[in-house]
Structure 1
Amino acid sequence: MFAWLSIVTALATIALKVGAWWLTGSVGLLSDAAESVVNLVAAVVALFALRVAARPADDDHNFGHAKAEYFSAGVEGAMIFVAAVVIIYAAVERIIHPRDLESLGLGVGISVLASVLNGVVAVVLLRAGRRYRSITLTADGRHLMTDVVTTAGVVAGIILVGITHWYWLDPIIAIAVAINILFVGYRLIKESTSGLMDIAMPDEEVGSIGRVLDGFRSPEVEFHDVRTRVGGHLRFLQLHMLVPGEWSVQRGHDLVEDVEERLREAVDDLIITVHLEPIEDPRSYESWRR
């Protein structure tokens, strides 16, 4: 549903912003429209990525398909770079061949309407991204919110052009827009790459895990070699639990079940692997960080 909302919004804002550019001839408004085209491509990719990510684990993907979301964020970041190049090219051409702007009032009004639409949808997507811990929805929401800020800057600049008749300011505004969205693209690609490289869980979630484990620690029970990673909305935890070697398998298993239950209460969508070891054996304290 959220991906379709993003697609419909992108189509509407493209129509509005292209109309504003056609009326005014402003390359600044053209740059704003180009960013909305990127939003549309990103929304289509997001729809595909979310469908893939929602698929359950299978024989070929034993840990599910959640990482498909990272490809969406990466594609969106790459598209932003392409849009920035197009914007800069158009801006430089306008600097070389300046021209007057027309119907600024109507063009600005249309752009403001498109910006309000983007802002409302951006808030919806960001809230959904936090709720479902979806990098795709979060990336889409951030991009739309960036689009709102971009439009605000462009509109302010166009108004200034109309007041001062400094027409050279129009392409300068477009270049500023391009530089701004380049930073957004860089952040999206960095976040996508980090996810594909199995980045550790956020500090807040790691802290929650630590507090749960501390509650089970005793002279007979210890934990070590704790590893975490993020895969889309899924969280993966691997750890070693040390207990007396004289314990029965049943007793050790029961404790593992209790620990896992508390961990899943502390962190949503957590997949846990626990390796049970005898606390008296020196080999049990060997770490993967060697």
Structure 2
Amino acid sequence: MNPSFWLFWNPQRLLMASVAVALVTITLKTAAWYITGSVGLLSDAMESFVNLASALFGVAMVTIAQRPADDDHPYGHHKAEYFSSGFEGALIIGAAVAILWTAGHRLFHPQPLQQVGWGLVLSVLSSGLNGVLAWAMFRSAKIHRSIALEADARHLVTDVWTSAGVVIGIGAVALTGWLWLDALVAMGVALNILWEGGRLMWRSSQGLMDEAVEPEVLAEIQKTLEAFAHPTIRFDHMSTRRAGQRRFVDLHMHMPANWSLGRAAAVRTSVEQALMSAVPGLRATIQLLPSDVEAYVDDEKDLM
């Protein structure tokens, strides 16, 4: 598909689309629960409310993340996306607890299901919408390096699997007459989304703590630096971090002390440009030092 298509469907537009889809799926799944009385379908509908809240919060955080750097935030606002991911994880966990509570009650007080066929049709239709949107979000998240978009996509995939489990469970109830299966399926749904919520919160916490860049990004940085390595030029004290869509690398570049400042600065500029061309979204900061001068570090881990 044309890359310009995914550039048009940026994180903000796709999250707005997620809001619209969430409203549609809430309507479909709530109707499915209403006509069947299935607690499994109720759990599915509750998760769609989480989708809606998460998408709305994600739109707000992505909008903030796109703001340019200012005096109070000289490195930009990119970390705002991690708040979106963490918020979504917290909502998922809250929904899972509510589902477990409701399903536990229904397990001991089972009720017959009504109009199962229509309920399953509405559930499958809503799952199809979520599946298509999740696929688009994953593609766009990879291009735009958006953790908020990736988090919402992962949640939608969880929703699809949730709905599939609910459909299978309700179908089994209709075939066997075992009403307790409905509550058991709902509890399984809750445990699944509880796991996904925990994963999202963990990823968010790691991003807020200045996690290093991904191994493949680090390998690309080192490969680029090796192209400039020379008996008279060496690099050390490299540190990296990521913040939302941005990647940062700081390092020292040693070169002969008899070089003019202009020559040294020109080489540094070439290295910085090469790094930022090799890794989209990277911001490189290089400190120049003479070959016979070592910078003070208080931790051996700071060494390249």
Say if 2:45 is the partner of 1:62. no
Say if 2:19 is the partner of 1:15. no
The 3-state SS of whatever aligns with 1:216 is: coil
Corresponding residue of 1:273:
285
1:22 and 1:11 map into 2 onto residues whose CA distance is: 16
The 3-state SS of whatever aligns with 2:68 is: coil
Residue 149 of structure 1, CA deviation: 0.9
Question: What amino acid is aligned across from residue 289 of structure 1 in structure 2?
Answer: E
1:11 and 1:86 map into 2 onto residues whose CA distance is: 20
Corresponding residue of 2:92:
80
1:211 and 1:62 map into 2 onto residues whose CA distance is: 28
2:299 and 2:221 map into 1 onto residues whose CA distance is: 19
The 3-state SS of whatever aligns with 2:77 is: coil
Corresponding residue of 2:124:
112
Say if 2:250 is the partner of 1:238. yes
1:199 and 1:125 map into 2 onto residues whose CA distance is: 23
1:87 and 1:248 map into 2 onto residues whose CA distance is: 69
The total of aligned residue pairs comes to: 289
The 3-state SS of whatever aligns with 2:300 is: coil
1:227 to 221, 239, 248: 239
Say if 2:47 is the partner of 1:29. no
The 3-state SS of whatever aligns with 2:258 is: coil
Say if 2:111 is the partner of 1:99. yes
Residue 114 of structure 1, CA deviation: 0.4
Deviations 1:136-182 (A, max 9, x none): 00000110011011101110111011000010010000000000001
Residue 285 of structure 1, CA deviation: 7.5
TM value normalised by structure 1? 0.98
Question: What amino acid is aligned across from residue 148 of structure 1 in structure 2?
Answer: V
The percent identity for this pair of structures is 47
1:241 and 1:69 map into 2 onto residues whose CA distance is: 32
Question: What amino acid is aligned across from residue 49 of structure 1 in structure 2?
Answer: M
Q: How does 1:35-50 map to 2 (within 5 A)?
A: 35-50=47-62
Contact 1:239 1:273 in 2 (8 A): yes
2:296 and 2:86 map into 1 onto residues whose CA distance is: 39
TM value normalised by structure 2? 0.93
1:268 and 1:235 map into 2 onto residues whose CA distance is: 8
Q: How does 1:126-165 map to 2 (within 5 A)?
A: 126-165=138-177
Unaligned regions of 5+ residues in structure 1, if any?
A: none
Say if 2:203 is the partner of 1:200. no
1:187 and 1:272 map into 2 onto residues whose CA distance is: 30
Corresponding residue of 1:289:
300
The 3-state SS of whatever aligns with 2:248 is: strand
Question: What amino acid is aligned across from residue 147 of structure 1 in structure 2?
Answer: D
1:33 and 1:284 map into 2 onto residues whose CA distance is: 58
Q: 1:180–1:76: structure 2 CA closer, same or farther, 3 Å change rule?
A: same
Q: 1:250–1:287: structure 2 CA closer, same or farther, 3 Å change rule?
A: farther
1:229 and 1:56 map into 2 onto residues whose CA distance is: 19
